[in-house]
Every structure is written in C-alpha cells, then in structure tokens.
Chain A
Amino acid sequence: EAGVTQFPSHSVIEKGQTVTLRCDPISGHDNLYWYRRVMGKEIKFLLHFVKESKQDESGMPNNRFLAERTGGTYSTLKVQPAELEDSGVYFCASSRAVVGGYTFGSGTRLTVV
C-alpha cells in the first residue's frame, strides 16, 4: 500500500505570506494527525481528524493555523499569515485504528524568512 504523502517537501516563504501544506493519508485510514517540530524541539501534536471531523484540535497554536479534511480524504494545513516561529518540520500521520498503527509521512520543512 502507498504510504502517507506530504506536499511540498520543503517550502520557503516570507513572513506574512500564506502557505498550505497537504497530506494524503493511506487509503482507508480514517484517522489523520498533524504534528510539528519547531526550532529543533520536541514534536508536538496539532490536531486529529476522524474522517472529515476534527476529533481533537487542542494542539493548534493559534488562529493563524487552519486545518481541513474535506471528504475525509486528504488534509490541508494552512498557515496565514506565517510568522518566523512557524519554521519547522510539519508531520502528518494516519492510522486505521485509534490506538497504535501510525504511519508518518516524510514531513514538510517550512522555512519562514
């Protein structure tokens, strides 16, 4: 089966611009998660979708971040406007079951200059 795919692999934008990250989960995986690692620190949870519904978005840092999963397939994470502290690696993961069995994508490295 194809893995979790993330686009783009790397994005460099200026402060104040908008960036949209995309994640294509493994087909049939209802659970989709976004995580990020900023400034070389720990990897932090952002949010969890079950199909198209946001199950838990308690990790979203502020209202500049908007995640969607229309139709319960791929997901997008939009950052608008981007700030310098948003630089980092954004990971997406999907799973069939709620507990365990995560598959992570290769990540999107976001650089805000």
Chain B
Amino acid sequence: SQQGEEDPQALSIQEGENATMNCSYKTSINNLQWYRQNSGRGLVHLILIRSNEREKHSGRLRVTLDTSKKSSSLLITASRAADTASYFCATDSTSGSRLTFGEGTQLTVNP
C-alpha cells in the first residue's frame, strides 16, 4: 500500500523564506521520521516524532503529527541555500520494523 505520500513534490523558495512539506500515511504507526537526501547521496536523519507526540522542534525544524488525520508536516524556517535537498517522511508501523518512505519533496532554496 502507498504510504508516506508527500506534497508538494517540488518546492522552490527564496533564501530566508519558510518551507513547509506535508506527508500523509495510511496505517497505524509507532514513529514518523523525516530524512534529507542531498544530491542523490546518503540519507540524513533529521527528526523523529513518536505517535503520542504532536509537535517537536529541532533547531530550524518543526514537525507536527496528527494521528487522527494520519498526516505530518515539516517546517524549515529561515531557509538557506544549503537546505536544497530531497526531503522524505518515513513511518514504521505497529506491525513491523521496516520504514515506509514517501516519494519525497524536492526543495530548492534560491540564494
């Protein structure tokens, strides 16, 4: 089943602006995580939010989780050119340990 669907698929903003990416999923989860992939290379873990949490902050990142709507959002404030990357949400379900990723959002921050 498709899970971790994200929107928008692509987002282009100017440096200093905020970027918001959304993710939806379909099954019950233990955790939801956000990752970043730079230039087609490795995955970098950004933040994990547990199913009993509603909001979490880490530096310029703010993640929300609404389990009733099965959705999450990632907000990057005061964006920088170095934030240009693909961003993925990933869920691990209550029935297993593997992560299910969405298609990702390609964020471009223009200097």
Contact = CB atoms under 8 A, between A and B. Distances in A.
A105 interface: yes
B42 A107 contact: yes
Interface residues of A, number: 26
Interface in A29-44: 31, 33, 35, 37, 41-44
B98 A45 contact: yes
Chain B interface mostly helix, strand, loop or mixed?
strand
Interface residues on B, range: 20 to 34
A100 interface: yes
B42 to A, nearest CB: 3
Contacts of A42: 4, 88, 101-104
A56 B41 contact: no
Interface string A17-58: 000000000000001010101000111110010000000100
Interface of A: 31, 33, 35, 37, 41-45, 48, 56, 59, 89, 91, 93, 95, 98-100, 102-107, 109
